[in-house]
Amino acid sequence: MNIALVLSGGIGKRLGSQAPKQYRTIAGKPVIVHTLEQFQRCDGVDFTVAVAAPEWKSRILEWKEAYRLTKLRAVAPAGPDRQQSIRSGLLAAQPLVGEAPGGVIIQDAVRPLTSQELLRRLLRGLEEAPCVMPVLPVTDTTYTSHDGQWVDGLLDRTALYAGQAPEAFHYQPYFQLYRDTPAETLSAMSGSCQLPYSRGWRVKMIPGDPDNLKITYAADLEACERKLLEREGPA
């Protein structure tokens, strides 16, 4: 059994809009609906859990019915940060998963362009490793600066990679890791792979996708809409 958690707790400050970016409409549908439809189409994913601020739960359930998102089985409350939101989603999924083996995909609601091929690569990666992350090579010269004003170092870009979401994990050990780690330890971490990596898990890298954009700014909304319309046509 494979499941997906779609993290939708952000408030979209950098976009400068009233509604969080994951609930804005592009190509005829809310961004989160496009993202959930990725998993609706994916044969390798059995069900999804959305993790969102409680005030958006009823709207997400309305969209579930309107867009026939039959794999969406629960809407869990978002935590104060990404890591605690992941734990909330895993706890909500546990009654549905039980003791079944399988994987969990952690996805950002603001990545509506993740391809089916990338999802297939993630799930294939779980056959070889407990933790799989798509990456892109860093192509620009990269410097360090501890004061933000003067360069104090240069990094070897041939050894640098930019991580993307979604990431995938063996569900049962990942659930146990998040269940048993104190909240303050979780809150000190960022990416979905950081906790398992800090506990000695091997993280397998697979090729990412340059088109797998994360919506952060207004221009990202426009770029995603263009690509969605090219890919799927008007809703």
Per-residue model confidence as pLDDT tens digits over 125-144: 999 999 999 999 999 999 99
pLDDT of amino acid 9: 87
Task: Show me where the domains of the chain are located.
Answer: 2-232
pLDDT in tens, 71-123: 999 999 999 999 999 999 999 999 999 998 999 999 999 999 999 999 999 99
CATH number of this structure's domain 2-232: 3.90.550.10
pLDDT of amino acid 233: 60
Distance CA 180, CA 199 (A): 12
pLDDT of amino acid 11: 64
Distance CA 198, CA 210 (A): 27
Q: Report how far apart the first and last C-alpha atoms of the chain are (Å, whole number).
A: 30
CB 234 within 8 A of CB 215: no
pLDDT of amino acid 88: 96
Q: How many helices (H) and strands (E) does the chain have?
A: 8, 12
**pTM (2 decimals)?**
0.92
pLDDT in tens, 9-57: 876 555 555 688 999 999 999 999 999 999 999 999 999 999 999 999 9
**Identity of the residue numbered 177:** L
pLDDT of amino acid 97: 93
